[in-house]
Amino acid sequence: MGKKEIYPIVLGIFILGLMRGPALGSEPIRIGYLQSDIHQLACWVALEKGFYKKQGVDVKLAGIFRAGPEEMSAFAAGALDMGYVGEAPATTAVANGMARVRILAQVNTEGSAIVVREKANIKTMNDLRGKRVAVPGHSTVQDFLLRKAMAKWNIPMNEINITVLKPPEMINALRTKQIDAFIAWEPYPAKAQTMGVGRVLLYSRDIWKNHPCCVLVADQRFLASRPAEARRMVAAHVEATDFIDNNPEEAGRIAVKYTGMDPESVRLAMQNVNYTYQLSIEGEKEYVRFLVGLKYIHVKDIDAFTRNFICQDILKELVKK
């Protein structure tokens, strides 16, 4: 076969590869998410329903993390390309120069709760004065919400003993009276209730209604070198989020599989989470202002930081009004 016959064949194979997805031999997209975090259900749905494959992207699960700061450390080490993570730890990591990621889509709003021991005489936020309250980590969304609640109820920072525990450890710590309360993402608040160990003192919507929580982020180097694949990942996320809204029972079964929790706890948890891909620009600015106030980060121009941190272009292109 001569060169004139070979060239059209090679060209056709190349074009077909572009149409179907990434070129043969390209590296899989390394993603991460938080352990049993029902906020990040869209990721599990996309994996289970084949939405990533439908978009022509090869996805590799590169890490399941116990808290947001751990996942951001993985980004800093170059171990992840994209991930589902809390907006507050992502903001903190970027503002402090620890990691270089950008937000591409929202994942959820609300979905956390302050849980106290079932029989404890704790009825209001003021009853937490002098008590030990667990958060998943400093600079997490839940740490932010607890401190925001303390400010809202005029409780000085030194009047609540804040300790760090990973959510899988919180329910047992509450049951054995190692802590008096915890704040965590769903489904841990729901599980504490169905086990009869704890009751909800405040839902996060009571602290900050419609607050943004988890986000889909991409490493800046990955985003710059493989923008088409990043766009396809966002497209899969959008489809998965719409699937959750339209098929809550099947989405719930997927959540049961990935969390290992019982259906009753999962159903209760899902009632406390708003699944959405629509970005919250003003919500991010609120995070930045509060984190600056806590001296977790130092940002001089909040508007400029938010513009650089949140990439709106991909979602605007995919979800045209």
* pTM score of the predicted model: 0.90
* pLDDT score for 22: 43
What pLDDT score does 20 carry? 40
State pLDDT tens for residues 41-77. Answer: 999 999 999 999 999 999 999 999 999 999 999 999 9
Segments of the chain scoring below 50 in pLDDT: 1-25
Burial 259-268, CB ≥16 within 10 A → b, else e: bebeeebbbb
Of 158, 163, 159, 148, nearest to 126 (Cα)? 159
SS3 for 21?
Answer: coil
Beta-strand runs (E) in the chain: 29-34, 59-65, 82-86, 101-106, 108-110, 112-117, 132-135, 161-164, 181-185, 198-203, 214-219, 273-275
All structural domains of the chain, each given as residue ranges with its CATH number in brackets, are: 28-110+211-318 (3.40.190.10), 112-207 (3.40.190.10)
Q: Output the pLDDT for position 26.
A: 77
> Do 179 and 165 meet the contact criterion of CB atoms below 8 Å apart?
yes
d(Cα 271, Cα 190) in Å, to the nearest integer? 10
In angstroms, rounded to a whole number, what is the distance separating the alpha carbons of residues 100 and 129? Answer: 38
